[in-house]
Homo-oligomer: A and B are copies of this chain.
C-alpha cells in the first residue's frame, strides 16, 4: 500500500483509509516522501520493501487527470525498467480518489475521458513489468458521502486489500462470514449483543446457501436450454 498524497495529514479521505488499512491483515501503509535521485540508501530501502509484498497498491488523488508528482518522482527513482524479474507476478492495484462523480469520466461526460484511459500509463507499467493489474478502485466524492456509503466503502476497500484475485462473489461472502465471526469472537459483548451478531451470521450463511442453490438451478436451466437447440 503505497500512499502518495502531497498533504496526507490534511486529507480526510486518506485518514479514513489509513484507519481501515490498519485493521486489515498483513497490510503495510507506506506514505511516500520525496526521494532524492542520489540517495542510494533510501532507494535501496524502498526497492527492498517492494520485494517483500505480493500485492502493491498505489493510492493517490488525481491532479490534472494524473497521479501526483510525488508518485511519479518516486517511480522514476525507485523502479527500473528492467525490474521485470523482480516484479513479475506481483499484483498492482490502483486506489484513486476523485472530487467529481465517476460518471463525469466518460465519453461525452463533463471530463470527457474515462479513468481507464487517463490512468493507462499504470497499465503500461504493469504490462512492462509483467505484473497483474487489479481492477481500478475508485473513491468518488468522499466528502459528500453519507455515513452508510462510507461503511460500504470501508468494506469494499478492505476486500480490495485482502481478498484473493479474482474478486468473485463467493470470495466476498466468505470474507464477510470470516469478519462477522471475528467480531463475534473478539469483542466483549453482553449476551443480547452476542446473540444478535450470531443471528446475523446465521442469516447470512443461510442466504449464502440459498444463493448457491439458486445458482445451481440456473445452471441446470441453462444446460436444458442449450440441449433443446
Total copies of the chain: 2
A73 to B65, CA, bound (A): 13
CB nearest neighbor in B for A71: B69
Categorize the interface residue count of chain A. 20 to 34
Tell whether A72 pairs with B65 under 8 Å between CB atoms, given A113-B124, A117-B117, A118-B120: no
Instruction: Tell me which residues across on chain B come within 8 A of A127, comparing CB atoms.
Output: 111-113
A112-152 Cβ-contact flags toward B at 8 Å (1 or 0): 11000110110111011000000000000000000000000
- A residues bordering B, Cβ < 8 Å? 6, 37, 63-70, 72-73, 75-76, 79, 81, 111-113, 117-118, 120-121, 123-125, 127-128
CB distance from A227 to the nearest CB of B (A): 39
CB distance from A83 to the nearest CB of B (A): 11
Tell whether A66 pairs with B63 under 8 Å between CB atoms, given A113-B124, A117-B117: no
Instruction: Tell me which residues across on chain B come within 8 A of A120, comparing CB atoms.
Output: 65, 113, 117-118, 120
Tell whether A67 pairs with B66 under 8 Å between CB atoms, given A120-B113, A120-B117, A121-B118: yes
CB nearest neighbor in B for A127: B112
Instruction: Tell me which residues across on chain B come within 8 A of A76, comparing CB atoms.
Output: 6, 63-64, 68-69
